[in-house]
Amino acid sequence: MATVQETFRNIFKIHELRQRILYTLALLLIVRIGAHITLPGIDTTLLSEAMRNQSANSLFGLYDLFVGGAFSNAAILALGIMPYISASIIIQLGGAVIPYFQKLQREGEDGRKKITQLTRYGTVLISALQSWGVTIHLMSLQVNNMPIVPEAVRGITWTLSTIVLLVAGTVFTMWLGEQITDKGLGNGISLIIFIGIINRFPFALIDEYRLIAAGQRNIVVEVVILVVMVLVIAGVVLVTQGTRRIPVQYAKRVVGRKVYGGVTQYIPLRVNTAGVMPIIFAQAIMFLPSTLLSFFPNNEFVASIAGYFNYTSLVYAFIYAIMIIFFTYFYTAIAFNPQDVAENMKKQGGFIPGIRPGKQTSEFIDNILTKITLPGSVFLAIIAVMPSFIAKFGVSGSFASFFGGTSLLIMVGVALDTLQQIESHLLMRHYDGFMKSGKMKSRRS
């Protein structure tokens, strides 16, 4: 078996793979640079002080984790890729209930291009709405009665220019993600979220160290909590990686002198077919209430409603969990269609022993998929809301968010998917991969 060092040397021996890796790293570097370019007209000194005063347990703090600190920097890429994900969710939901979108999905490549175009238009619309909310939020921030957006700067010109810059930043980030997917390595959208989460790790460690040094945290308690979190998440990951195999018998067919079929194959049904997408989808939807509430920063009634959507509230955790379960089933239905599987089996002369081909086979597969998806969706929901409860035990919000189920699952899922693509490139050129069998398991990212 090749050593890890030999594998990495082999990676850079392949010209195409080397170019893809360098191209991906270059575009991700651009994303990180854009996350530190502050919007014009903002007092950066007051901004850093105001953002320190904001609770990491709020949804704004969680949003900042997904965009790698760009929101707390009031950067031109402050919205990150989340408006694009929200638009994708709306389009995909529309494909389940709106005949027009269903028609586009059946038109093949032309329909896919049209859906991509509509998703981009939706991204611009959603990012414009969120940008407007961000301008209101920024103008409401003060430090010692000194606004971070000076009175001399405020006005319709500043508001419009800020909205334009934020929308342009989102469109640019979306374009970078598509370029990584097409010409780089891995899923560009997922990698942008991945690099943003990784970027916050040193800051989470520093914040936690300061609290421990000040005597506000007990290091023994935190270590125990983190060990429990990691063990629970590792157990859930193992469970959700499980599969249920359905035997398929292919009847013998004689064509000339050749015999086809007569063998038994298996359909692997995963407990978690959707991977980490339900968490990303649900989190993108949960950011929308905070966007709408940001339009009324000084309204007491709105502030009371916002309390229910606090990152650590039980209402937030319940709604978030329900949405993850829903999106797990929804994304599984998109990724795996029992009717298509049953139809293909029937055309190839295959059948499940004891089950009639056609409709009964489709219903049988759908029934099993529904049953095994339920525990997978519940486990995803549990580890996703875990940081909300861990924060109540004294762990800081930024640290709990980073080591919570959402962040860890996204990081593990994206990393495995990217490594699996590298593995494929190595095996195609007859190099040993990271695993001797060449069958590294990846999560759909």
Q: What is the pLDDT of residues 109-168, one digit of tens each?
A: 788 888 889 999 999 999 998 888 888 888 887 877 888 888 888 888 989 999 999 999
How far apart CA 139 and CA 125 sit, in angstroms, is 22
How far apart CA 97 and CA 84 sit, in angstroms, is 20
6-12: Cβ within 8 A, 24+ apart = 6/432, 7/426, 7/431, 7/432, 7/433, 7/434, 10/426, 10/431, 10/432, 11/422, 11/425, 11/426
Binned at pLDDT 50, 70 and 90, residue 234 comes out as low
Q: Which pLDDT belongs to residue 125? A: 92
Question: HSE-up of 110 (CA within 13 Å, CB side)?
Answer: 3
41: left (phi over 0), alpha (psi -120 to 50) or beta: left
* Stronger pLDDT, 11 or 397, i.e. the higher one: 11
* Mean pLDDT in residue range 209-224: 72
Q: Which pLDDT belongs to residue 445? A: 38
State the burial class of residue 89 (Cβ atoms within 10 Å of its Cβ: 0-12, 13-18, 19+): buried
How large is the greatest C-alpha to C-alpha distance in the chain, in angstroms? 90
* pLDDT over threshold 90, residue 247: no
Q: Which pLDDT belongs to residue 302? A: 67
* Stronger pLDDT, 209 or 39, i.e. the higher one: 39
* Stronger pLDDT, 250 or 86, i.e. the higher one: 86
How far does CA 438 lie from the centroid of its chain? 26
Burial 112-144 (b: 16+ CB within 10 A, else e): eebbeebbbebbbebbebbbbbbbebbbebebe
> What percent of the chain lies above the pLDDT cut of 90?
9
How far does CA 190 lie from the centroid of its chain? 6
Mode of pairing for the β-strands spanning 258-260 and 146-147: unpaired
Q: What is the pLDDT of residues 388-408, one digit of tens each?
A: 776 666 666 666 666 555 677
Lowest mean pLDDT among 62-66, 81-85, 146-150, 198-202: 62-66
Q: Which pLDDT belongs to residue 172? A: 94
CATH tag for 4-428 (out of 1.10.3370.10, 3.90.79.10, 2.60.120.260, 3.40.50.1260): 1.10.3370.10
Q: Which pLDDT belongs to residue 239? A: 64
> What percent of the chain lies above the pLDDT cut of 70?
76
* Mean pLDDT in residue range 316-325: 87
The residue extents of the domains of the chain are: 4-428
Q: What value does the mean pLDDT of the chain take? A: 77
* pTM for the predicted model, two decimal places: 0.75
Q: Which pLDDT belongs to residue 174? A: 92
Q: What is the pLDDT of residues 102-125, one digit of tens each?
A: 788 778 778 888 888 999 999 999
Q: Which of 193, 210, 191, 192 is nearest to 202 (CA)?
A: 210
